[in-house]
Chain A
Amino acid sequence: MAALQVPPLGVRAVLGVPPLRRVWLLVAAAVLLAGCSVEAAPPADQQVSFRQPEPVGASVLAGPATTTTGPPPAACDVTASLRPEGLLPPEGQMPAGSTMAAIVASGRLRVGVDQNSYLFGFRDSFSGELEGFDIDIARQVAKALFGDPSRIQFVTLTSAQRIPALQQNQVDIVVRTMTITCERKNDVDFSTVYYQAGQRVLVDRGAGFTSLDSLAGRRVCAASGSTSIANLAKAPSKPVPVAVPNWTDCLVMLQQGQVDAVSTDDNILAGLAAQDRSTEVVGPRLSEEPYGIAVAKGREDLVRFINAVLERIRADGTWTAIHQSWLAELGAVPAPPPARYLP
C-alpha cells in the first residue's frame, strides 16, 4: 500500500481538484484496491498441544476404591469355604439336577479369565492359546466335569468385570487372580484358597524407590476394581493411585514414564518384571491376598464340587506341577495353601 501515500503537488493540477476532494478520491481508491487485492490472510502455524497417549481407560483414582457393588461387609471368616460332599462323581456323570449336570449338558464350561497377566492368564502370541497358572487350574475343573480339559469357553475379563460377569451369568466360574474378601463374599461365593499371594511394588531398576513408603505423593498404577487399588487408596504414605483396565496397561504406563510404580500381588508383578528386565519387585509384602475360584451365589453344589477338585490336585501333586511349570521364577515351590472349611 506504500504507493497509495498522498502524492505531492502536481497531481492537484492534473486532476484539478481541491485538497479536500483529493482526500475523498484517495479513500475511494483505497477502498477499490482493498476490494480487489486483499486475500484472506493465511492462518498462523497451528500449535497442537501434544498429549502423550495413555492406555484407554486410565484415570487417577478420586475417592476411596471399592471392589464390590454391595454394602460394607460384616466381619467374616475370609478363607473358609463349603466342605466337599464325599468323593468326586465320575467324569461326565454329574448328579441329576445339579449345576454341574447343567454345565455338562451345555457342552462346555464357561470360565472368566485374564489374558493380560503373564504367567497366570495370558495369550501365547504364537499359538493364540490362553495359558498360565489360572488357566491350568480352570482346565482341572473342566477335566473333572467332562473328562476333557479342553471343554472350556474362555471369556476374558478385566478385574472390574469379574463380579458382574458372574451375576449376569456370562460365565460359570471365574479363575482370575481373584482375592477372597468379605466384601466380595456378599456378591459371590468362593472356593478354598488355591494360591496365596501378597501385594508388593514394581519399580524401574535404579529409580531409588524401595517400598510403597518411599512413593509418597507419586503416581502408582493398579487395575481398577482390584484389591490392590483399594490398598493403595488406604496406604499411609498417600501415593496417587492411577487406575487402568488391565495389568499390562500398568507396565505400559511405567515404561512411558507416566507412573513411578505398579503395585499389586507379587505373582502378577513377577509376570510384569519378566516382560521388562529393567524393572524389579521391591519392598515387603503389604497384604495377604488369598486367591479363590469365584462362583455366582446360589450354586453351592458347584462350590463344593470345585473344592473337591482342589482337594484332589493338592493331594496328587498336580498343583505342585502347575506351580513348577509357571512360577519357577518365584523360587522353590511352596506347599499348596491348606483348605479351610466352614463348620
Chain B
Amino acid sequence: MRYRVFLAGWLVVVWLALWRDLSLANLVSGVAVATATIFVFPPPGDRGRLIVRPLALLRFFGTALWAIVRANIVVAWEVVTPANQINEGVVAVNLHANHPTVITLVSHAIGLAPGTMVIDVEDQPDGSARMYVHVLHLREIEDVRREVLDLERLALAAVAGRATTEEGAA
C-alpha cells in the first residue's frame, strides 16, 4: 500500500512538472489523475509485497549518486591517458534475493558505479538469482563480489518486505 502511495506521489510530481505551473488546481488534478492511474494500472504485486523505507531509500540513492561522480572521474582518466591498462573480466555473483525490484535497483547502482556493469541475470534452479557483472579493471574477484553484495544489502534495507528476505521467491 505504501508502495502505491509512493508511485502515485511520483506521478503527481511528473504531472506538476509537465504543467510547469505549481498551482493548487494543478496539484488537485494531479492527485486525481495519479490515483486513477494507480487504480486502473496497479503495479504487479505478485512477487511479494514491498515496503518502502524512505530513509534507507534515500541512503541508497545517495550512494548511487556518489557512485556516478566517482565513476566519471575514473572514466575521464581512462579516456584521456594514452596507456591501455584494461584487464576486463566477467564475475558471477550469487544474490540473496530474487525480487525483480531489488534486482533492478542493484543493477542500476552497479551500472552507475565505477568500472562495473551488469551483463546478465539468470534464475538459478533453487530460486535465487545469479548476476554476471562485467568489470573494467579486475584486480580481485572477491572485491567485486563484496561490492555487489553491499549494494544488495542497501537495496534490501530500502525496499524489502518479509517475502524478499527469505531464500527464494515468495
A associates with B: no
| Interfacial residues, chain B to chain A (CB-CB below 8 A) | none
